[in-house]
A and B are shown apart, each in its own frame.
Chain A
Amino acid sequence: MSSQEHYGSRFPYRLLVGVVTVVIFFLEAPLVILVIQSFTAESYLAFPPPSYGVRWYKEVLTSEDWLNSISLSLIIATIVTPLSLIFGTMAAFALDRGPKKLKNGLQAIMISPMVLPHIVLGLGLFKMALELDIDDSMLAYIPAHLTITIPFVIISVGASLQTFEVTLEEAARSLGASRFWAVWHITLPIIRPGLVAGAIFSFIISFDEFIITFFLTTFQRTLPIEMFSTLMYQVRPSIAAVSTLTLAVTAFLTAMLMLRGQITSGNKVIK
């Protein structure tokens, strides 16, 4: 509170608040409008809708195309998330516990898929999948999605490991726990916020992934691809309903992410 007034003496605080309010409005308003429009009872999109209803949700949830794509996306994300968590956590441990002088270089390599344009990655993977004749299948989707989700796990778990007190693990080992059990009983429970964050990132990124999967599929359709092709054909209220459903899933997971972080950190301080 005091810092507000403090800063006010050096910068026109009101102006800053005004500008930021506009930016936040710019960020959030479209999504709010989208959600409201999805509840239209009409056969067209308008804002505000002349009448409200869940007509389009019913349509989406009874349409075979939508349901198929939703379940494909859910299946992929559900397979990718635990694998990504395992691979990424192992890598994060290697970076944290390995030789210090190699850490920065190795870390840069391990998270490099993040800065590689997905269009290039998708193109390369598509060619590879064609050569191996695994395109349009899980064998192609899963490794592809893992490649882009693992860096997020490495980053979030790595951040947790950095604040982890290694003496705790040593204490456990001196008490008779092997290295594995020390990590299992002590380290992993303590870095859980990082693990949860990594898992949620993995799930959402896999669930939302478009361009790489777009290359790899021919007949199968994940939810983003189904949305894209519907969109290219016609903008109908069902697309708003599907978008809102997706938004609800990701909002739920994001809320979990924030809540988990608070619960675990609050636990230590208060309880």
Chain B
Amino acid sequence: MSLNSDQNYGALWLLTPTVLLYLATFLFPLILLGVLSFAKFEASITTLGFYFDNYIKIFSDGITLKIFFQTVRLSIYITFWCLILGYPVALLMRSCSPKIKMILLFCVVSPLLTSIIVRNVAWLLILGRSGMINDTLIQWELISKPLPLMYNEFGVILAVVHVYLSFMVLPLFGALSSINSSIEEAASSLGAPFWRVFLSITLPLSLPGIMAGCTLVFILSMGVYLTPVIMGGNFILTLPMLITESVREQYDWPYASAMALMLLLAIGFMVVLSSGLQRLVSRR
């Protein structure tokens, strides 16, 4: 309110506890990783300094870059499926009765509050070698040996989509509900069939929500560790897995730090790209 905007710099001291915490748990650790990423790791000994060895290794060892692009590719698939599955839900939430909206909202929000590991366990019990689907199919003698439903990309994508779908639906719903439905009514009263109305009005106007949702899901997918490990076994390697492994098994901090920074860079790039696109869209 304008009434209250009388130079309230005094209120900012309330930020102190959180800012101090963030300095210790957020800023310093990141700086530490930045410093470490330029260190040298030889014969299990870390030498601080200004070496580019780790970055050179990332781009030249052939495997890191491949895993990085595999992570990007998986994230794109995940984002795509979240969009495909999430859009109809957001669309329905916008046009249904308040009661159904509450139910849908509950279905969409509750996964945010359920443990990721619990949901992965659920999929494990369904898709596993002796999971529900394979068991049933074998029992009915439709197949003779288990289908490979997990420990592959399919299983990983399915389980991650299950975890992150909410993050897509919420921004989509926000964007869709801010569209004035009289615009669509006007179009259909002018004789446009529903798909024309959808393609030429609803979809373009919900673009900011689409971009916000996609950016969020993509960023989250790039950093996901647990689900690929559980659902992919050691068959699907992602950058977060590689990072964890280098630290926990090889104690190669410099290399892990460099990969972490690379991950951050990729995510930062996505954020910049998406906010640039957002600006482009809103300027139209």
The answer to whether A and B touch directly, with their CB atoms under 8 angstroms apart, is: yes
Answer whether residue A127 sits at the interface, using C-beta atoms and an 8 A cutoff. Answer: yes
Task: Decide if B91 touches A16 in the complex (CB within 8 Å).
Answer: yes
Task: Decide if B32 touches A128 in the complex (CB within 8 Å).
Answer: yes
- Distance between B222 CB and nearest chain A CB, rounded to angstroms: 7
Query: How many chain B residues have a CB neighbour from A under 8 Å?
Result: 88
Answer whether residue A113 sits at the interface, using C-beta atoms and an 8 A cutoff. Answer: yes
Residues of A within 8 A of B225 (CB): 118-119, 210-211
Residues of A within 8 A of B15 (CB): 90-91, 94-95, 106, 110
- A10 vs B185: C-alpha distance when bound (angstroms): 8
Query: Interface on chain B toward A: helix, strand, loop, or mixed SS?
Result: helix
Residues of B within 8 A of A258 (CB): 106
- Chain A, interface size category, equals 35 or more
- A11 vs B192: C-alpha distance when bound (angstroms): 11
Task: Decide if B122 touches A26 in the complex (CB within 8 Å).
Answer: no
Residues of A within 8 A of B14 (CB): 90-91, 93-94
Q: Mark A118-140, 1 if CB is under 8 A from B, else 0.
A: 11110111111001000000000
Q: Point out the residue from A4, A117, A150 that lies within 8 Å of B222, measured CB to CB.
A: A117
Answer whether residue A144 sits at the interface, using C-beta atoms and an 8 A cutoff. Answer: yes
Answer whether residue B214 sits at the interface, using C-beta atoms and an 8 A cutoff. Answer: no
List residues 1-25 of chain A with CB under 8 A from any CB of chain B. 1, 3-4, 6-7, 9-13, 16-17, 19-20, 23-24
- A98 vs B25: C-alpha distance when bound (angstroms): 24
List residues 247-279 of chain B with CB under 8 A from any CB of chain A. 247-248, 253, 256-257, 260, 263-264, 267, 271
Stretch of A54-62, A245-253, A263-271 on the interface side: A245-253
Task: Decide if B95 touches A3 in the complex (CB within 8 Å).
Answer: yes
Answer whether residue A79 sits at the interface, using C-beta atoms and an 8 A cutoff. Answer: no
Q: Point out the residue from A24, A33, A243, A250 that lies within 8 Å of B107, measured CB to CB.
A: A24
- A7 vs B244: C-alpha distance when bound (angstroms): 49
Task: Known contacts A19-B88, A47-B135, A143-B25; decide if A210 and B116 are in contact (CB<8 Å).
Answer: yes
- A131 vs B108: C-alpha distance when bound (angstroms): 41
Task: Decide if A16 touches B92 in the complex (CB within 8 Å).
Answer: yes
A/B pair count, beta carbons within 8 Å: 255
Q: Mark A203-247, 1 if CB is under 8 A from B, else 0.
A: 010011011001100000000100110010001000110010011
- A253 vs B123: C-alpha distance when bound (angstroms): 23
Task: Decide if B122 touches A34 in the complex (CB within 8 Å).
Answer: yes
Q: Mark B100-141, 1 if CB is under 8 A from A, else 0.
A: 000010111111011111110111111010101001100000
Task: Decide if B116 touches A118 in the complex (CB within 8 Å).
Answer: no
- A94 vs B243: C-alpha distance when bound (angstroms): 37
Task: Decide if B113 touches A204 in the complex (CB within 8 Å).
Answer: yes
- A14 vs B220: C-alpha distance when bound (angstroms): 33
- A113 vs B114: C-alpha distance when bound (angstroms): 20
Answer whether residue B76 sits at the interface, using C-beta atoms and an 8 A cutoff. Answer: no
Q: Point out the residue from A31, A97, A125, A150 that lies within 8 Å of B122, measured CB to CB.
A: A31
Residues of B within 8 A of A3 (CB): 95-97
Residues of B within 8 A of A87 (CB): 17-18, 21
Answer whether residue A68 sits at the interface, using C-beta atoms and an 8 A cutoff. Answer: no
Task: Decide if B240 touches A117 in the complex (CB within 8 Å).
Answer: yes
- Distance between A81 CB and nearest chain B CB, rounded to angstroms: 14
- Distance between A141 CB and nearest chain B CB, rounded to angstroms: 11
Answer whether residue A37 sits at the interface, using C-beta atoms and an 8 A cutoff. Answer: yes
Instruction: Jot down 7 A-B pairs with beta carbons below 8 A, ordered by A.
Output: A3-B96, A30-B125, A46-B132, A117-B223, A117-B240, A124-B29, A204-B113
Extra 14 A-B pairs, beta carbons < 8 Å, given A47-B136, A124-B32, A210-B116:
A13-B95, A20-B89, A23-B86, A27-B165, A31-B119, A46-B132, A94-B12, A117-B267, A119-B223, A123-B33, A123-B256, A214-B244, A231-B124, A257-B113
